[in-house]
Amino acid sequence: MTKNELNTFRKTLENKQSELENGSRNREALAIETSPDELDRIQHASNRDEAIGNLERSSSRMREVQAALQRLDQGTFGICNGCEENVSPKRLAAIPWAALCIVCQETADREQTAPGEIDTFLGMAA
């Protein structure tokens, strides 16, 4: 991968990191609201559960983006954490924080294994 391509990925990842940081600051939806009406309480609880799910997804994506930035710094960006083969440029263009090639990602998804645990799943020494 050329230095120019790596710089483009770095800029994309840094922009995504900023976007996620700005989005995680809005936590008003997590506030517990009380209401004498049971349906209102149910709706508030549902909204809060949705906000918590969104926050968890953002937090997970932030960790993936930060890990990708670390791989850029270490010179291992674009190398699959599972099989150590090159990750497809098309995959990186679509998902620049991808830590796994498509084959390893599909395996992890089938087994519902976190990307960091793929080594264990594949039987590789950690």
Global pTM exceeds 0.75: no
Q: What is the DSSP string of 54-119?
A: HHHHHHHHHHHHHHHHHHHHHT-TTB-TTT-SBPPHHHHHH-TT--S-HHHHHHHHHHT--GGGHH
More confident residue, 48 or 105: 105
pLDDT of 126 > 70? The answer is no
pLDDT tens track for 56-102: 999 999 999 999 999 999 999 999 999 999 999 999 999 999 999 99
% of residues, the chain, pLDDT over 90: 55
